Structure 1
Amino acid sequence: MKLESKMLSRFFNKLNEIEANYCVMNNYINMPEVIPSDVDIAIDKTSFGKLDQLVTELANEFSVSITQKIWHGFNKCAFILSPLDTEKYFWLQLDFFVDFSGKGFPNLMPFSTMIKNKAQYKNFYIPAPEVEVPFILQRRIFKGDASHAHIKTIRSLIKDDFDIINRGNRAIFDKEASDILKDLIVSGDISLFDENYSFLRKALKSVSNKNTNMSYRLEYILFQFIRALYRIIYPTGLSIAFVSNDLERTKKIIDSIDERISGSFHGTSYVEPESLRQLSKMHLKSVLWPKITKRKVYINLQLSILREKNTLLYKLLTYLKVTPDLDFVMDDMTIDIKMYTYLILKKQAQRTKRSLFNSLSPTAKFK
């Protein structure tokens, strides 16, 4: 069994040991042996408040690091783990939420609904089909996509028992939306989704409105403000500069490094400024903002830019912390990809560690 599979299986056992109320909401058929995507876990609020501690314990047990903690919504948080000395692609992203929400669509599916009639599967828990079907459909409507693969997944869940669709969808959507979605699943005609998308989007908003009272909305707004502050204080990304005489060769080196570490970050950006002045102009949009919004940013620079280190501009940029978080000066010597990989992941893990167990975070309320 691969390391990430062993870790995921162990994490499920940890949740069981503390008697957490949870279920893995989708893509679980071959887990933990095969992890096809990030792992979406609905979890009770008390256990959600222990996640910094639980995930840190998991990382320590397997001698890996938390490379990113991404607080990306109200009672929603993701943790990405990785060994620092990885020599190949590694991906283990654990996504947790108490209620299922989307940006601008709070509480699409309350926790009590998601865990209703949950069932044990291997050493973890999964939702009932009449819960998973509308969960999948809500995600597709929110993201604005639906494919034959999604329909196939739903058909495999219901096993031609179309009463499951009626029970599941009508518990969530109004009758008109439920009927459209049933026709979509029965016929497999994706054009029904596209033709009715605007209506389905409005129906989804109605679900959110129905599930959120004034108290929930006020808490949602407050935590969105706190979350934005937290993300600014603790940017989840990293900027890495490579300085050389050969930008094309360096780009190939960056690509080789990224093949190893792309699973350890949520997204990648690449910039190639011609001077410090140009870097300073693009910093906010192309470097700082991607870092705040969870990306790693590769900066490919000409060696001649180092001559600007003694200029007033460089000193000002350094004072304002506009310079990269990590920089490597390349020469004609043999390039050690393994060393660069380790140093990048180590730096990122150190930065992430500072954001753990912070009082602002809802995942650090209990130990």
Structure 2
Amino acid sequence: MASENEPASGSGQGLSRFSSGFAVNQADQMNVAASAQPSPDDASTVAVEAVRKQMFLDFCAALDAHAMPYVILSGYSGYPDRIDSDIDFMVSEADFLRLPALFNDASSVPGARLVQAVQHGPSACCYALASHTGHRIAYLHPDSTASYRSKGRLWLRGQAVLASRRKAAAGFWIPAAAVEFEYYFVKRCDKGVVEAHHIDTFATLLAEDPVGCRAVLARLAPLPLSDELESAISKGNVAWFEQHRQQLQLALSDSMPREAFVGRLLSRASEILRRARRILRPTGLVIAVLGPDGSGKTTVIEHLERELAPVFRRVRRFHLRPHFGAALGSTVVTDPHGEKPRGHLASAAKVGLFMIDYWMGWLRWVYPAKVRSNLIVFDRYYHDMLVDPARYRLPRGSFLQRLLVDLVPKPDIWLILHAPPELLVARKGEITLEAAQVLSKDYAHLAFQLHAISIDTGRGLKETLAAAVAAPLEYLATRTSARIGAAR
């Protein structure tokens, strides 16, 4: 994962590795991954699912208790026992504005904290509620909307949808079958992706209310297209939808007039403000994980990526620096401290290269990714050179890296791992006990200077991983709460 001059981090041999479904290609410094695959720890997965179920029940109860009529628009067939994705729900325009304060109130969903709120449309916002369950995190993602708009057309208003609502057998509110059919049909055709399970949903709703759903088809698609549509739904014909994708989108556009100019203007202005807020107050997160070889960085980073991934759209990992966006080879230096130091001139050039790389990388990749709600994890950071200059072949007495340290862009969270020196030597045999003691002392001093979160990886694995995810969750919850408070 490292170049010859920037050795790979230690593998954390004393910490057993998770075999995660969230796989990060360690040969790719700019690798993108996004998966919420559960840990293979079956007991903890069962516990997470049980907590998620209770969070959902509390979420519904909170809306009812605060007199906020709602409907869960689609995808609810397995609720509350199985919740595989976002909870798409609709409320009125007035209640949409009340949701941030509701979810920010810790008593609304007991045991959970609001850690993310991403507005992705003029009247659409997705929230992330998190409950720390041991070393795992249980999430609930309510995705709210007050209307369904697309391409200058207002397809559904919250008030009209809420007027049709009814209670599902499990006790939560859902729309009338024909209303849900219209929402789901327009959404899937507008996105241009209709797969077999989508058609199954169409068929189920059509069977429940054939008169209402046929009226929707007749309104949205002219004859004979509406008849062909019903036939394709009854036969589960995915190929037909693919072949007629553009025709369906055109028919939808023709069936609904564009909003009035004033409405479109207000919607556009709201969208511009939303994007400006996202740039100035990005919803992504940058974490730097530092520590001596043998402290367990790889294990901790993989756990962070897996457990925090559901809060973000994507996950990116960098090793030490952005590397100008280039994917590096997988050469690993097994004895980084055994390399001969460079001369002072070459070392100065190396530090200068790092500074340019950090700023170019931050402006070109890191900050834009943060704006796009990415989680960015650095495995090591510039500040490692302050503690362990020999690792980077800097000569004794080198000071330039210290002079420039305040100019380096800073992550949101510093995690500095440590373990007893004897354990570091046992895990990574390349260093002596004396060297391990010096590194431990210097990293502890760095943690104090940076106000970093210090994590003792000499404890049990689950305790270590629980501490690792607790810090980012606390940061996200505090940041989200402050933003909601400032917006009120």
TM-score, normalization: structure 1? 0.85
Q: 1:25–1:127: 8 Å Cα contact kept in structure 2?
A: yes
Verify: 1:140 aligned to 2:188, yes or no: yes
User: What amino acid maps onto 2:363 in structure 1?
Assistant: L
User: What amino acid maps onto 2:104 in structure 1?
Assistant: T
The unaligned stretches of length 5 or more in structure 1 are none
Shift of 1:47: 1.0
- Which of 134, 140, 165 pairs up with 2:213? 165
CA-to-aligned-CA distance 1:231-284 (integer Å, 9 cap, x gap): 223211110012356699634431122333323444322223254532322213
Q: 2:62–2:108: 8 Å Cα contact kept in structure 1?
A: no
- Which of 51, 56, 63 pairs up with 1:3? 51
Taking only the aligned residue pairs, the percentage that are identical comes to: 20
Equivalenced residues, count: 353
Q: SS at the partner of 2:283? A: coil
Q: Which has the larger radius of gyration?
A: 2
Shift of 1:357: 3.4
Q: Which has the higher mean CA deviation after the structures are superposed, 65-74 or 16-25?
A: 16-25
Q: 2:178–2:209: 8 Å Cα contact kept in structure 1?
A: no
Verify: 1:291 aligned to 2:291, yes or no: no
- Which of 408, 412, 420 pairs up with 1:325? 412
Q: 2:104–2:481: 8 Å Cα contact kept in structure 1?
A: no
Say if 1:239 and 1:106 are closer, same or farther in 2 by CA, change over 3 A: farther
Counterpart of 2:126 in structure 1 is: 78
Q: SS at the partner of 1:191? A: helix
Shift of 1:224: 0.7
Verify: 1:256 aligned to 2:303, yes or no: yes
Shift of 1:15: 2.0
Counterpart of 2:425 in structure 1 is: none
Cα distance in 2 between the residues matched to 1:139 and 1:52: 25
Verify: 1:341 aligned to 2:474, yes or no: no
Cα distance in 2 between the residues matched to 1:224 and 1:152: 34
Say if 1:182 and 1:145 are closer, same or farther in 2 by CA, change over 3 A: same
Cα distance in 2 between the residues matched to 1:169 and 1:305: 65
Cα distance in 2 between the residues matched to 1:57 and 1:175: 51
Verify: 1:152 aligned to 2:152, yes or no: no
**1:210-249 matched pairs, under 5 angstroms:** 210=257, 212-244=259-291
**1:9-48 matched pairs, under 5 angstroms:** 9-48=57-96
Q: SS at the partner of 2:380? A: strand
Counterpart of 2:164 in structure 1 is: 117
Shift of 1:202: 2.8
The unaligned stretches of length 5 or more in structure 2 are 1-48, 324-353, 390-399, 421-455, 458-463
Q: SS at the partner of 2:78? A: coil
Counterpart of 1:280 in structure 2 is: 359
Q: 1:4–1:92: 8 Å Cα contact kept in structure 2?
A: yes
Cα distance in 1 between the residues matched to 2:219 and 2:159: 13
User: What amino acid maps onto 1:325 in structure 2?
Assistant: D
Shift of 1:96: 0.6
Q: SS at the partner of 2:257? A: helix
Say if 1:300 and 1:108 are closer, same or farther in 2 by CA, change over 3 A: farther
Q: SS at the partner of 1:29? A: coil
Counterpart of 2:402 in structure 1 is: 310
Cα distance in 2 between the residues matched to 1:180 and 1:73: 33
RMSD: 2.8
Shift of 1:288: 1.2
- Which of 104, 108, 113 pairs up with 2:155? 108
Cα distance in 1 between the residues matched to 2:104 and 2:311: 16
Q: 2:167–2:174: 8 Å Cα contact kept in structure 1?
A: yes
User: What amino acid maps onto 2:62 in structure 1?
Assistant: K
Counterpart of 1:352 in structure 2 is: 480
Cα distance in 2 between the residues matched to 1:261 and 1:346: 12
Shift of 1:71: 1.0
